[in-house]
Structure 1
Amino acid sequence: MHTILPFLLLMIASVVLLEMWAAKLKIAYPILLVVAGLLVSFIPGLPAVKIDPDLIFFIFLPPLLFEASWSISFKEMKKWWRIIGSFAFLVVFFTALSVAVVANRYIPGFSIALGFLLGGIVAPPDAVSTGAITKFVKIPKSTSAILEGESLLNDASSLIIFRFALVAVGTGQFIWHEAAMSFFWMVIGGTGIGLLLAWIFVQAHKRLPTDASSDIALTLIEPYFMYWVAEQFHCSGVLAVVSGGLFMSAKRLVFLNSASRIQGFSVWESFVFILNGTVFLVIGLALPGIVEGLREKGIPLGTAIGYGVLVTLVLIISRVISAYAALAATYIFRPAVVPTIASRRRTMLVPLVLGWCGMRGVVSLAAALAIPATLANGTEFPQRNLILFVTFIAILLTLVIQGLTLPALINRSRVFEQVPGQASHETTRQQMKKGLKEHVYHSLKRKHENDPQGHAGMEKFLKIWEERAKATDETLMSEKTKTVFVELLAAQREYLVELNRDPKIDEEIIRQQLYQIDLEEERLKRI
């Protein structure tokens, strides 16, 4: 313990420093972390990194998925559910099939079952990498919602393919009707368990005398519990965490107070940053062990790299083809929801950008490491070391090549430039604030117009909201005026929740304003 603890602390410190450096260089930090881990792994004397797949699946994956489900706009997911569903399920299956066919044709010793196993591993793009890269460029909310929604669901679909392929490799047979029943149970059961547990957790938060600290502690436990329970019933733990997280995110104003929401945001942001950074650093550190496994099997390193490059090309091409197929299907069946772009040329470039947002990461590594060393009969699992190496090459190449070129592709193509006449983000924000102030003023007049005249606090409030300015001497507030202020904050939340029902309003603007209201409430408590 005294040996490994300094190493873990050094890893976390390295993650922080590399993230600062990446921000200075204006590149996504996962790219720098993977490359740094790869370079550091060759330093003599460092302990060998051997990754337990259960560690990544159970320790890292549930909180990462849970936090992502709280961050995404469920309203945007519903709006773009067709394309999100197609990317998360159909595109993942098409990618896995493409990898299976190519691997069976060009990699010696790869059966179709092994090809599907490899395809299921490398098919899902990584949400963290995409989010870290796209923050350096401006992309519309619709595109962001599609990428975020896809990343929440494609992990589940790829892991389902992985499990079925693993069974086929181990048993030498694949029974379609059993696989179909198992698939539906994993999807429906996982989603149902996640929603049920999320409802129970919401009730616990509401009924127990919790404070901010206990609320945050419970939210740290909940994704692990959802994942574990679903896996015990042989369902998809990923879908349980995602569905439960989405449900609790939609109810956050009901069961969490302003202090819990504010403090929880900061805690989760730091927690997820450390988890993400550690995993990407470990990916680079694990390569020497994987290469050593190749040497033991007598596979030349150059040959293995060639296979990795081939599979990476298949991943990129199949995703771009799928993106253009999705656009064509949208034009045919749902032309009204085709994104509004300034020109047809830019419209045709949108699938290319979506296709290029296919960086691989945490889930692919965890799935590859989850391949057992031996089959049920005790024989060695075929091609395990090569699958691990090809997965690492796919992660490295997609992160470096696509990750470094994606911002330039978006900027140079100008595909997401604002359409003339289309309301800007800032215009929408100003309209929302104007409506919010008018709503607060009329609510104040309606509820307290019969209060005694000459009440200093009430006159002050009326003047504040009528002139749309803030008071400069808040310390003179009485308990009465504080109570009224809290009522106004509640009225603002109600207004924003109702306003969010408008599909044209960006939910991110609503969430930012709700956060400002939470801050205002906490400030009021300390006056």
Structure 2
Amino acid sequence: MTEQFPFYISLVIAIVILVMIADKVKVAYPVVLVVAGLGISFMPFMPAVRMNPDLIFVVFLPPLLYEAAWAISWKELWRWRRIVGSFAFVVVFLTALSVAFIANRFIPGFSLALGFLLGGIVSPPDAVSAGAIIKFVKVPKRVSSILEGESLLNDASSLIIFRFAMIALATGQFIWYSAALSFGWMLLGGLGVGLIVGWLFMKAHRHLPTNANIDTVLTLVTPYVMYIIAEEIHSSGVLAVVSGGLLLSSNRHSFLSGSSRLRGVNVWESLAFVLNGLVFLLIGLELPEITAGLKQEGASISGAIGYGLLVTGVLIVTRIMSAYGAVFVTLIARNFIKVADPRNPGFQTPLILGWTGMRGVVSLAAALSIPVQMSNGAAFPQRSLILFITFVVILGTLLLQGLTLPALIKRIKIPDFHDYPPEGEAENYIHRELAKHALQHLDSKYTGQWENSPLLQQMAAKWQGKVNDDAEVAISLEYRSIYLDLLDKQRNWLIQKNDHDEHFDEDIIRKHLRLIDIEEEKIRSL
């Protein structure tokens, strides 16, 4: 273990350098990292890299899902719940089914069960790749929200398909009612574990004498506890982490102090950056091991590449068709039920949603978790070929879709749906309302007190638009508590605004909540 430590440290340094290069050349960093890992793997001095699937599923996946659950807007997720659910479950199932039929028809030795296994492996798109690409171009909020919401759930649905396909291959039969019960338990058990564990940790944060450091450590432990407990009772660890993360994220201001929130965000952003960088770099480094296994089975590399490109094409076409199908269903459903937006989105939005289907680390980890031998001692059929096809799919989608997505977005000019007020207008509105509510609270609760505090007078004048001086002024304990109370009043107004106004962008609300936390931290240090 200690012998490999310098190697992994060098990988982290390489990630930092490569991400800076990616930002400089305006290319999504997952693409650069995978290609760089692929190039580095052929260097003669490089040690053989064998990615342990447990490293991904147990060490990397829980914190990455948890961080994504904290970053996503619950309001946005609920608003687009139908299309998010359709992409995360229905489209994943249709994709796996399409791959199963094509693999059974065109790849020698692939049964339907084996094809369904491959479909479950390659069906979930990787949201990190799409998010890294979208940051270079401007897309409507709804597009990024749908992609973020889908990414939280599609890993769970694809891994459920993978498990059922493994059971069918091991037993040689598929009992539909048993599968339905297992599927229900995985969903309900995962959701239940996540909510219960999340509630317990929320109580621990709220009632134990914690500080910012302890709170941050507890947040680091939380996703692992959720995932491990859920997996131990044979439910979905992914859904447990997602549901628990969403519960804690939506209640973060009720059990975490401003200091804990500020420090936690910094720690989690850095952790997610390193973990994402490592997994994409390791994908590229894994190719020699995958190729060696294919050669040992006497399979043709060129033939395997052809099969991988065939599956890649099936994935792209199926997702694009599903995106347009989802729009068609929504246009029909609007006549019978209330939908998030009854307007016709045009051809651009479903095309972008369909083209953001880059595959990533979950697919490779699932493929690597296939056992070498089956329970009866026989070699697992087509294991090396499945691994190689999965790698080709990941590399192909990252290069083809990842490199062309920014140009496609700029070319087709996605319409602005005006889901939210313009950012400048929203910022001005928040500034006015925060100032108004702070002044009203100051006059109603602290009449006759704040006139004796230079700092409170200065802040009141600033809120009234009379001064813009941010100079610090000494403040007594009494007036510090008044100012903190005013900040808390503003924070509560922002939270209420976010909860009750679905047409206000939560990203702007979160920005101002963070600014209040920073101001509170500054006042406490005076």
Q: Evaluate the alpha carbon distance shift between residue 468 and residue 36 of structure 1 in structure 2; reply closer, same or farther with a 3 A threshold.
A: farther
Residue 28, structure 1, aligned to residue 28, structure 2? yes
Q: How does 1:247-396 map to 2 (within 5 A)?
A: 247-334=247-334, 337=339, 347-396=346-395
Does the CA-based 8 Å contact 1:138-1:416 persist in structure 2? Answer: no
- In the alignment, does 2:516 pair up with 1:520? no
Amino acid at match of 1:61: L
Identify if the C-alpha distance between structure 1 residues 512 and 170 changes in structure 2 by more than 3 Å, giving closer, same or farther: same
1:250-309, CA deviations, whole angstroms, 9 ceiling, x for partnerless residues? 111011111111111111111111000000000000001111111111111100000000
Q: Is the 8 A contact 2:143 2:349 kept in 1?
A: no
Q: 1:180-232 deviations in whole A, cap 9, x for unaligned?
A: 00000000010001000000000001111111111111111110110000001
Shift of 1:340: 8.6
AA aligned to 1:14 is: A
Separation (CA, whole Å) in 2 of partners of 1:246 and 1:466: 37
* Counterpart-to-counterpart distance in 2, 1:242 and 1:378: 36
**Following TM superposition, by how much is the alpha carbon of 1:470 offset from its aligned partner in structure 2, in angstroms?**
4.6
Q: Determine if contact 2:331/2:342 at 8 Å carries over to the other structure.
A: no
**Distance in structure 2 (CA, Å) of the matches to 1:274 and 1:462:** 43
**Aligned mates of 2:403, 2:163 — CA distance in 1:** 32
CA distance in 2, matches of 1:100, 1:355: 20
Alignment of 1:28-427 (within 5 A): 28-334=28-334, 337=339, 347-417=346-416, 423-427=421-425
Q: Distance in 2 between matches of 1:258 and 1:109?
A: 58
Cα distance change on mapping 1:305 and 1:453 into 2, 3 Å: closer
Contact 1:212 1:259 in 2 (8 A): yes
Q: Distance in 1 between matches of 2:327 and 2:356?
A: 16
The 1:471/1:487 distance shift into structure 2, 3 A limit, reads farther
CA deviation map 1:339-368 (0-9, x unaligned): 598xx7x71121111000110001101111
State how far apart, in whole Å, the 2-side matches of 1:36 and 1:492 are: 47
Equivalent residues of 1:410, 1:416 under 8 A apart: no
1:474 Cα shift? 2.4
Output the CA distance in 1 between the equivalents of 2:97 and 2:30. 28
My pick for the range that moved more, 446-455 or 233-242, is: 446-455
The letter of the residue matching 1:428 is A
Offset at residue 312 of structure 1 (A): 0.2
Q: Which runs of structure 2 are paired with 1:478-489 in the superposition (5 Å)?
A: 478-489=476-487
Name the stretch that deviates more: 12-21 or 456-465: 456-465
1:330 and 1:338 in contact (8 A); partners too: no
Segments of 5+ residues of structure 1 without an aligned counterpart are none
* Residues 380-439 of structure 1: per-residue CA shift (max 9 Å, x gap): 0000000000000000011111001111111111114466x9732222222222212111
Alignment of 1:439 onto 2:437: yes
Instruction: Could you tell me which runs of 5 or more consecutive residues in structure 2 were left unpaired when the two chains were aligned.
Output: none
Q: Deviations over 1:79-123 (max 9, x none)?
A: 010000000000000000000000000000000000010000000
Q: Distance in 2 between matches of 1:146 and 1:113?
A: 31
Task: Report how far residue 48 of structure 1 moved.
Answer: 0.5
Give 1:493's aligned residue: 491
- Name the amino acid aligned to 2:125: P
Contact 1:64 1:272 in 2 (8 A): yes
Given that 2:323 and 2:354 are in contact with CA atoms closer than 8 Å, whether structure 1 keeps it comes out as yes
- The structural deviation recorded for 1:452 is 7.9
Partners of 2:219 and 2:104 in 1: CA distance: 44
1:464 equivalenced with 2:466 (yes/no): no
1:6 Cα offset (Å): 1.1
Provide the rounded CA distance (Å) in 2 between the counterparts of 1:422 and 1:273: 29
Cα distance in 2, alignment partners of residues 525 and 465 from structure 1: 20
C-alpha distance in 1, partners of 2:452/2:208?
Answer: 42
C-alpha distance in structure 2 between counterparts of 1:219 and 1:81, whole Å: 26
Aligned partners of 1:472, 1:19: CA distance in 2, in Å?
A: 36
Shift of 1:471: 4.6
Q: Is the 8 A contact 1:114 1:169 kept in 2?
A: yes
Change over 3 Å in CA distance of 1:193–1:396 after alignment to 2: same
Change (3 A) 1:35 1:442: same
| CA positional deviation for 1:461 | 4.1
Distance 1:468 1:296 in 2: 78
Quickly say closer, same or farther: Cα 1:340–1:24, change in 2 above 3 A: farther
CA contact (8 A) 1:437 1:468 kept: no
Query: Cα distance, 1:171 vs. partner?
Result: 1.0
CA distance in structure 1 between the aligned counterparts of 2:525 and 2:215, rounded to whole angstroms = 21
CA distance in structure 2 between the aligned counterparts of 1:206 and 1:162, rounded to whole angstroms? 39
Letter in 2 for 1:366: A
Using the alignment, how far apart are the partners of 1:87 and 1:319 within structure 2? 9
The alignment partner of 2:473 has SS state of helix
The alpha carbon displacement at 1:449 in A equals: 2.1
Q: 1:397 to 1:274 in 2, by over 3 A?
A: same
Deviates more, 1:452-461 or 1:132-141: 452-461
Distance 1:308 1:510, change over 3 A: same
Matches of 2:301 and 2:93 in 1, distance apart? 29
SS of equivalent to 1:347? coil
Give the Å deviation of 1:460: 3.7
CA distance in structure 2 between the partners assigned to 1:353 and 1:249 by the alignment: 28
CA distance in structure 1 between the aligned counterparts of 2:518 and 2:155, rounded to whole angstroms: 35
Query: 1:476 aligns to what SS in structure 2?
Result: coil
